Structure 1
Amino acid sequence: MAVGLGPLPVLHPVPGFELGISSAGIKRPGRKDVVVMRFVEGSTVAGVFTLNAFCAAPVIISRERVAGDVRYFLTNTGNANAGTGPDGLANARKTCASLAALAGVGEAAVLPFSTGVIGEPLPVAKIESALQAALDDLSENNWAEAATGIMTTDTLPKGASRQFQHDGVTVTVTGISKGAGMIRPNMATMLGYIATDAKVSRQVLQDLLSDAANKSFNRITIDGDTSTNDCCMLVATGKANLPEVTSASGELFAKLKQAVFEVSMDVAQAIVRDGEGATKFVTVQVNGGANAQECLDVGYAVAHSPLIKTALFASDPNWGRILAAVGRAGVPDLDVSKIDVFLSEVCIASQGGRAATYTEEQGSAVMAKEEIGIRIELGRGSVSETIWTTDLSHEYVKINAEYRT
């Protein structure tokens, strides 16, 4: 249904970063489901990965290799290669070795990524048969095609791009992501790839990605499920004719940080807008917390409540469900008499009960919209956090009930 999500914007090519797409027919014949990304020698690579203990084989391998001399990303859809034990690791390494042999690089220069059904053996032969076609397709202009190639239950491809000028040089940041269900990242997104032609030292790049993920990918949730396969990667090719960024300071770093944060936010929110069966895009803002964690605890208690999410789907301003979620969030010594709750700009609850000015007609008018804000003022301090989520619809149940069929 893709709430407020339209066609892809212009995705500027990143010098030194190429993408190639081909079909292995993993779930159905002809489906473009293998994506190879190649970046120039000397590029720096950073990654953030799922904290799920049952992380997929490609996550294990990519975490091991990301600090090395990486040149290629290999992504397949239709099969997560998760819950597959030692055979899954062996299969992931085999596909990496096959790509490395075709590309003339060492096996450790290839990072694997997979998304799809959990618990099924990786179809190695199918993937290997598609590698040469993906290499032949490599182009700096293939971002849009790659955004489609990494989709699973997504209804639309997701991407964003920014450019800025520094000392007369144009610097580009472009990124794509996939994800529509099993979404509560605990590091980044389902699969996300961002590249820039700035030259950045690895530690600065890693810190930049971690910070960006914490304010974007780590603030989205559709169903509260942290995937086995979540990965987000940031590559700096260094092709822009500018000095290397070696510290988190200075004008160039500030411009780069803003661009990376904006791209990360765009593609993260696009995942929520395209949430499985979503009809509403919901911003949950918690203000006045004593610390960030209690703001997040309250925000996620609201965002994950099935009762609130179904009320959102029904456009029912059942504000008592919001109060109940805030109250069970586990915030110590919570004084409900200090809490105000808003639907957009309509105060629905104050001083522990229904706001004196609130009417059901006001609440219904807000809930009828596609984009809804829930704002909670805790009155405990000065910290704020924001989370983005969706409603819970009949279609979500249908999609996930039939996912393997």
Structure 2
Amino acid sequence: MDHTVKMLKEKLDNFCPEIPSSLLYLLFQKVNAISRDEKGRRREETLHSEMLAALLNPESNGDLGTVLIETLLDELPRKVAWSSEAGHGNKFIIELERRVACEGANERPIDILISWEGAEGGKHAIIIENKLAGAVDQENQLNDYYDGLKREHFAVHGIIYIPFKGEKKPSYLKKNVHEKTVVMDAKKITTKWLGNAITRARHRGKSAKTIAAIEYYKDFLESFIINKAKLMKSCDILSEMTSTQVRSLEALLASDEWIEAKFTNITKILKQRLGPDLKMQPQRYKDLHTDGGPRHNVRYYFDTSDYWIEVWMDAKKLVFYICSTEEKDWVTIGGMKYYFDSKDNGGNRRGGRGNYYYYANEKGHEFDYPSKASEVNAELIEAVALILGHLSPQNAPRREAEKGQDKVC
């Protein structure tokens, strides 16, 4: 088992050295394990459009209004004249899967259509074609969208083409369609368009909740970029392996040995600093809040303490929590307050069942992954070691005294 882990780490580090091997469990999520909608399309293809349309729609985005539409118009090759003043007729309509007639009897669905009526009474439109999930271009797709809307007497001001990576360009374009098309990949959306929208929303005094909605979508896309890149690399790696090797690999990832291997560097340093009484227990957990896939963490604890620490490998960060079987507003350890964060039903942890409660430092409990697999995050080690030191058997009397400072719910 140890030899297999080492072999995989070396293979994957050589293939993609910038990705720490501690994150490699992402490689083995099933590529096609994505549910389908009622029309048989993969949900990944429509999820991005649904989220984006909800943020764009002034009727459903809280007090955000037209901020995202305005900053999107700024990306078009030609300035679009419009007004948000009452009486000027600029009520934006956002439509998902808006169907347009093509030559003959066929129709095509536009992913997102933004339309409005101008002050002069004319109809105006912007097309958004979403290729974030990697869908291929269909012949004359954008041409048909453009021509179909022109037949409905729309002035089409721009086509926003959104691939995963910027080097993917739309194909089969007529000259007049090409001139109106802007390629805006996932990275440009997060760094430019959404960044500008957040700045403008703050300048206009939009609510913190509204701004947070844009920031959440920006974070979602950034995570998508990271995970999609890993997935593309993993597909290349898996394509070189036999089905027997893949099955062996899946069995390996379900083992405690794999989880221990991921946390080896952290565990080694903590045991050196805190002694042989410190124990480590690997755990597997299904995250029901995302895709139900496995997430791994380890618990560090002393038998003499009723608190322990869990270190998690999240998609973007290393995260740790102080844990207990008691629910409190906060717990006090080493003179520091750690506030209630969340709870779960505990499963079969530390030999028992019941609710487990998670506490975190308000100043932060998330840390960046190291740039190399052989390194550890020194700040994470210091923060965890400090708390575990206060939980150690040597400090048991002081811990008993501190319990009086905890606030019970």
Whether TM-score is above 0.5 comes out as no
| TM-score normalised by L of structure 2 | 0.26
| TM-score normalised by L of structure 1 | 0.26
Larger radius of gyration: 2
Bigger fraction of residues in helix: 2
